[in-house]
Amino acid sequence: MFNVEVVSPEAVSYTGEADMVIARTVDGGDIAFQAGHVPFIGTLAVWSVDVVKPDGGRDVFAVHRGFVQVHGNQVTILSDVSESAAEIDVTRAQTALDNANAALAAHADDPEAAAAKVRAELRLRVSALC
């Protein structure tokens, strides 16, 4: 078991103990951390972070880039945005997805619309886990 913090500029989304944390890094794909993991720093992709708690429960967060640091018995997720499944406004996420799809239909190579689509899809996927 180890300590976990999920932090964004707005708030600390999660503080607690975990048996495992699963995250996706930009260059390395999915990675799982357990107690005793070697020190690690990585850049997070726009993806979910799963915190597997000692009782077997799981908390899932939508994370929009950032960093993961593992040091000793501490895993810290630092992200521009981190939202738990329960915090996600599904209507807002669906509207964002619809807007991104419309923008991409008009300009298929619009990088901002493509990024907005990825974020909206992540929010919808994570909210479905709630």
- Average pLDDT of the chain, as a whole number: 94
Please state the rounded mean pLDDT for residues 30-54.
95
% pLDDT > 70, the chain: 99
User: Cα angle at 26 between 18 and 36, to 5 degrees?
Assistant: 30
Q: What is the largest CA-CA distance in the chain?
A: 50
Q: Say whether both 35 and 69 belong to one domain.
A: yes
Q: Say whether both 71 and 99 belong to one domain.
A: no
pLDDT digits (tens, 9 = 90+) for 83-100: 999 999 999 999 999 999
What CATH number should be reported for the domain holding residue 76? 2.60.15.10
Neighbours of 122 (CB within 10 A): 21
Q: Say whether both 35 and 76 belong to one domain.
A: yes
Q: Say whether both 34 and 63 belong to one domain.
A: yes
Give CA–CA dist 22/17, Å, rounded: 14
Give CA–CA dist 70/101, Å, rounded: 37
Q: pLDDT tier at 13 (50, 70, 90 boundaries)?
A: confident
pLDDT digits (tens, 9 = 90+) for 62-77: 999 999 999 999 999 9
Q: Say whether both 92 and 37 belong to one domain.
A: no
pLDDT at position 130 is 65
pLDDT at position 122 is 96
User: Cα angle at 102 between 98 and 106, to 5 degrees?
Assistant: 170
Q: Say whether both 52 and 109 belong to one domain.
A: no
Q: pLDDT tier at 129 (50, 70, 90 boundaries)?
A: confident
Residue 3 has pLDDT above 90, yes or no: yes
Please state the rounded mean pLDDT for residues 105-129.
95
**How many domains is the chain built from?**
2
Neighbours of 26 (CB within 10 A): 12
Structural domain that includes position 18: 2-85
pLDDT at position 10 is 84
